Amino acid sequence: MATEPPSNLLKLWRQEKITADMVIGYLIQNQVEHERAILAANLSRAGLRNDLDGMAEQVKTHQKVLDALQSGLTKLQSMVDELIDRNR
């Protein structure tokens, strides 16, 4: 049994092409499909959240490295400035 949109089910039922029991069967099948889609979307969302959390940790790590490099460059610049001042 293929799923049918509720609007189409109503049309078919009004035209007496399907019975009320068939409509109920289709609606149950539609509900199951919707539940599967919601579950898949939630799993996907959870995976994306996990990926984002991992990326946020990487950014923090990279920021620490950048801060250390900046500190090292500042010290190096200070040392170079001192050497230049001594040789003047």
For the stretch 55-72, pLDDT in tens is: 999 999 999 999 999 999
Provide the pLDDT for residue 2: 72
For the stretch 13-45, pLDDT in tens is: 999 999 999 999 999 999 999 999 999 999 999
Q: Which two tokens mark 32? A: 């199951």
Q: Is the pTM of this model over 0.75?
A: no
Q: How far apart are CA 13 and CA 7, in angstroms?
A: 10
Provide the pLDDT for residue 58: 98
Q: How confident is the model at residue 1 (pLDDT cuts 50, 70, 90)?
A: low
CA distances from 46 to 25, 42, 53, 60, 65 (A): 32, 6, 10, 21, 29
